[in-house]
Chains A and B, each alone.
Chain A
């Protein structure tokens, strides 16, 4: 069964460093998403991406964040200068276009900022 994959599973970085989280969405899906879950809190939407552009972003997704689909399979989330409060599980998800609202999530990347 097709699945969303994410790398790395755990990333430790120092405050102020740049990190790139990688995702390979399900191959025939056209919508891509990033969510995060801070420990003990709800899963929060960050950004959605369709047709090579951001279709929606949350107030969390400020200028420190960016997304890219560098090739036909990968979808990345970059945090330019990490802060302690960026420590969280980051989930990538994908869905079909044209009314396929079910989003399929990857296993997540645990980001720890020290």
Chain B
């Protein structure tokens, strides 16, 4: 199942700089996209989401951009902090009744101080 892809297994960023995490999808029936953050031995924590009818959503240090024509979304974290170090998952929801989420494989973000 390769419908949601996060091609970068890891990313290392200096504290205070921008972190950009990328996600690509193949299914044009996805109507909602979400980013989750996960620490070891914990469940995914919801960060930010975006509807397919928008191209940008911002919440504090986190901004998600959606490019529907390219089937690409990205999460920007500015400024990056050491506490942001975690695994970040992109997830997409198929239109329909069940609200099933399809997850990417995740990107490990390391923010160096």
Contacts and interface: CB of A to CB of B under 8 A. Distances in A.
Partners in one complex: yes
Nearest to B39: A107
Interface in B69-113: 89, 91, 93, 96-106
A14 to B, nearest CB: 24
A58 to B, nearest CB: 7
B100 A106 contact: no
13 contacts: A4-B43, A42-B103, A43-B101, A44-B103, A45-B100, A48-B99, A48-B100, A56-B97, A102-B34, A105-B36, A105-B46, A106-B43, A107-B42
Size bin of chain A's contact surface: 20 to 34
Given A45-B101, A48-B100, A108-B41, 13 more contacts: A4-B43, A33-B101, A43-B44, A43-B103, A45-B102, A48-B99, A91-B43, A93-B43, A101-B93, A102-B46, A102-B49, A103-B99, A105-B44
Contact of B104 (A42, A58, A91, A103): A42
Contacts of A31: 99
Interface in A1-46: 4, 6, 31, 33, 35, 42-45
A55 interface: yes
